[in-house]
Amino acid sequence: MTPDAESVLPASHDATSRVERRWATVCTCLLALLVAVAAFTGSYKATVPQARVETTDPRTLHVTGEFIESNLGSALEPDGSVTVRIVGQQYSFTPQCILVPTDTPITFRAASADVVHGFLIQGTNVNLMLVPGYVSILSARFDKPVESNMPCHEYCGTGHEGMWARVRVIDKAEFLKLSNQRRRVTCVPK
Ligand code: CUA
């Protein structure tokens, strides 16, 4: 070993371990950030993962229980909130047009009658998967009247691209007037 190499070696060793320590710090910070994000999304409003698991039987979905046809659509609850019940099946949603009020806590309860479907209201963070056998639940609130499309965004078969519905957010007073006249409210043309 030449005297030159001897003097270079310890210096480069120092530089290497300095870089490694720096990388270890960056990695630890990244890891801590990811854990914090996972903890926050898991606990904040308990939306991810779902707060509770409820099951349904896709074979009897249309015949018995809360997802029978006459019970679908928007229901005004005694506490002033609104529950929207929807069924997804190859290749449509029932009801085809969902009517909800502004400035009201809304709970979506959706189920699939056959395969996995997607439930997405464009322009909002309402985004669910409808998995047969389970009730998909999500809370939402809409500030202003708007009309959005609700396309199925999970490939569910050959008719997938034709599977979509519409969501119409209307003024709260107007919605209350409608729900006084009908037990379940939708915007499906009569
Ligand atoms: Cu239902 Cu894609």
Q: Is 117 in the pocket of ligand 1 (CB under 6 A)?
A: yes
Answer yes or no: are the C-beta atoms of 101 and 82 closer than 8 Å. yes
At 133-147, the pLDDT tens digits run: 999 999 999 999 999
CA of 113 to the centre of ligand 1 (A): 12
Q: Which residue's CA is the closest to the ligand 1 atom numbered 1?
A: 117
Ligand 1 atom showing the smallest separation from residue 116 Cα? 1
Quote the pTM value: 0.74
Ligand 1 atom showing the smallest separation from residue 156 Cα? 2
At 140-179, the pLDDT tens digits run: 999 999 999 999 999 999 999 999 999 999 999 999 999 8
